[in-house]
Chains A and B, each alone.
Chain A
C-alpha cells in the first residue's frame, strides 16, 4: 500500500539554504533514498544527492535523517510513523557543496597521514603466515565502508572545527588499531596515534559506535585499545621500564608518510 510521505530536505550551498518541504508518494518497503530519488525524478530534478550502491556497502549516501547520522539507503521508511515528517540534511561536520552533498576531503587528507602496512620479511618459502585468531582480530576493522558517519557524529570535530588539524577521528583510529594489532607489522604506531592522530582528544562517548552502519565496535575494540597502548608508552612507567629492561617489543616508531607533491 502506497502513501504520501511528508519530507523536509535541506536545499542550498555554502552561501545559505533552507529546509524545503516535499510530499512524496512512496511504497511500503522503500528507504529514504528511494523517496529522495522520487523527489529528484518528479519534483526537483536539480536535487544533489550522492549515492552509488544502494545496498549499504559503498558508504556514499551518508546524511542526517531526523538529526541522526545514517545511510539513506539503509533507513527504511517503516522506521517512521505514518504522518511523521522525515527531515533529511547533509552531514553537518563537513563543508557543504550543495543540498545533501558535502566535501569529505578532510577524511582523505587524514588518510594520507596514516603509515602504510610495513610487514616483516617473507619466510624462506616466500610466504607470510598468520594464524586464524590473529586474522580474525583485524577483520572487524576491515568491514569499514568509509561512509564517514562516525567522523560526522564525533563531537571533537563536529562541534570544534579547529580540532580538525589535530584529530584524525574514529575511522582512522580503526587504521591505527589494525596496524598495532597486526602480528606482521614492524612499526610502533603509538607515538603517531598520540601526537598526530590526537587520540587524547577522544573522550570515548561512543557516538561513533552508535552510528556505525557496519556495527563495528569502534570505541571498545579500536579506540580504547589504542588509548591503552598509548598509556603503555607515555603514562605507565612500570610498563615502559619493563619493556626497556626485558627488551620486548622494541619496534621503530612509524612516521607520517611523505607524499609526492602535486
Chain B
C-alpha cells in the first residue's frame, strides 16, 4: 500500500477525519452538479430534436439553432446559408454550438464549478479530495484549458450572430412588431454580452496584460469596464444558462403551437 499523503502525511497533525467542517459544505457542489447536468440534458435533447426552432410569423430563431446552417433548416431561418448535410447527429447549428461548449468548458468560472462538483478536486474548501495523484492543468487534456482565449474570440462572433437574430426578430411576416418573444431574445443577448465580455481572458486582452496602465489610458478604461463586469462573471454564467434555456423553451412552445406570443406592437 502506498504511503499516506495529503492531510494524512506522517509529518502533519494526526487527525483521522477528512474534514472537520460542520456546515453543509456538500450543498454547493451538489446544487452545481444538478444544475449543470439538468441544463446539459435539456440542451442536448433540444439540439437533436431538430424541430420547433423557428417561429415563422415573428421570425424568432432560438439560439440553440443559430446560425442555422444545415440543408434541413427552414430557408427563412438560415441567415448565413446552408452548408451542412442533414443528419440526425449533426446539430443544425454545428458551426456555433461546439465552440460555445468549449468556451464554457474552458471558462475560468465553469472550471472551478466542475472541478469542484464533478471531479471533487476538491469538493469544497478544506475537504480532502479523493484522488491520490494530482497534476492540475499541466498535462493533456487539461493543459488545453490554456486556449480559452481562442474560444473567447469565437464566442464574440457567435454573440454577434445572436444579436443579429434578435434584431431580425423585430421584423416579422407583417413587418415591424414587438412581442414578449422580442423582449426575451433581447434580454438573452444582453446577458450573453455581459457573460462574454466579463470573461477573464477578455480582461487580460483588453488591458490586463499591460505592465503600465498609465501609458495606455484607453485600454486602462476598457480594462476597468471589463473588470467591473468580471466581478460578476459567475452570476452571468448562471444567468445566461437560464436565459438561454428560457429563450429556447419560449420559442419551442411558440413554434409547436402550445401557446401564442404576447404582442405589444
B201 at the interface (CB under 8 A from A): yes
Are B213 and A159 in contact (CB-based, < 8 A)?
Answer: no
The residue on A at minimum CB distance from B20 is: A67
Q: Which residues of A contact B122 (CB under 8 A)?
A: 155, 159, 205, 207
- C-alpha spacing A68/B124, complex, angstroms: 10
The A88-109 residues at the B interface (CB cut-off 8 A) are 89-90, 92-96, 102
* Interface of chain B: mostly helix, strand, loop or mixed: loop
Known: A96-B14, A152-B126. 14 other contacts (CB 8 A): A10-B13, A87-B20, A92-B126, A133-B214, A134-B213, A155-B128, A159-B6, A159-B122, A159-B128, A160-B5, A160-B6, A161-B5, A183-B212, A207-B126
The residue on B at minimum CB distance from A227 is: B146
Interface size for A (C-beta < 8 A) is: 65
Which of B129, B149, B230 touches A220 (beta carbons < 8 Å)?
Answer: B230
- C-alpha spacing A180/B21, complex, angstroms: 36
Q: Could you jot down 16 A-B contacts, CB within 8 Å? A: A67-B127, A90-B13, A93-B7, A130-B214, A155-B129, A158-B126, A158-B128, A161-B5, A180-B211, A182-B211, A183-B212, A183-B215, A201-B134, A202-B136, A205-B121, A207-B126
B133 at the interface (CB under 8 A from A): yes
Which of B9, B131, B133, B204 touches A228 (beta carbons < 8 Å)?
Answer: B204
Are B136 and A225 in contact (CB-based, < 8 A)?
Answer: no
Are A92 and B209 in contact (CB-based, < 8 A)?
Answer: no
Known: A203-B115, A232-B209. A220 touches B5 (CB 8 A): no
Are A203 and B212 in contact (CB-based, < 8 A)?
Answer: no
Q: Which residues of B contact A201 (CB under 8 A)?
A: 134-138
- C-alpha spacing A134/B213, complex, angstroms: 6
A235 at the interface (CB under 8 A from B): yes
Are A228 and B21 in contact (CB-based, < 8 A)?
Answer: no
Min CB distance B3 to A, Å, is: 9
Interface string of A220-258 (1 = CB under 8 A from B): 100011011111101110000000000001000000000
User: CB within 8 Å of A: which residues of B?
Assistant: 5-7, 9-15, 19-23, 108, 111-112, 115-116, 121-122, 125-129, 131, 133-138, 142-143, 146-149, 200-201, 204, 208-209, 211-215, 220, 230-231
Are B204 and A95 in contact (CB-based, < 8 A)?
Answer: no
- C-alpha spacing A171/B231, complex, angstroms: 21
Q: Which residues of B contact A163 (CB under 8 A)?
A: 134
* Interface of chain A: mostly helix, strand, loop or mixed: mixed
The residue on B at minimum CB distance from A129 is: B214
Which of A156, A182, A207 touches B136 (beta carbons < 8 Å)?
Answer: A156
Interface string of A50-86 (1 = CB under 8 A from B): 0000000000000010111100000000000000100
Q: Which residues of B contact A198 (CB under 8 A)?
A: 136, 138
Are A228 and B201 in contact (CB-based, < 8 A)?
Answer: yes
Are A66 and B13 in contact (CB-based, < 8 A)?
Answer: no
- C-alpha spacing A202/B231, complex, angstroms: 20
Q: Which residues of B contact A142 (CB under 8 A)?
A: none
Known: A87-B20, A156-B136, A202-B137. A68 touches B125 (CB 8 A): yes
- C-alpha spacing A137/B208, complex, angstroms: 10
A131 at the interface (CB under 8 A from B): yes
Min CB distance B142 to A, Å, is: 8
Are B112 and A205 in contact (CB-based, < 8 A)?
Answer: yes
A153 at the interface (CB under 8 A from B): yes
A12 at the interface (CB under 8 A from B): yes
A200 at the interface (CB under 8 A from B): yes
Min CB distance B37 to A, Å, is: 19
Q: Which residues of A contact B116 (CB under 8 A)?
A: 205
A197 at the interface (CB under 8 A from B): no
Q: Which residues of A contact B19 (CB under 8 A)?
A: 67
Q: Which residues of B contact A159 (CB under 8 A)?
A: 5-7, 122, 128-129, 131, 134
A16 at the interface (CB under 8 A from B): yes
Q: Which residues of B contact A205 (CB under 8 A)?
A: 112, 115-116, 121-122, 125
The A134-181 residues at the B interface (CB cut-off 8 A) are 134, 137, 152-153, 155-156, 158-163, 180-181
- C-alpha spacing A227/B149, complex, angstroms: 12
Q: Which residues of A contact B9 (CB under 8 A)?
A: 161
Known: A96-B13, A162-B5, A228-B201. A67 touches B136 (CB 8 A): no
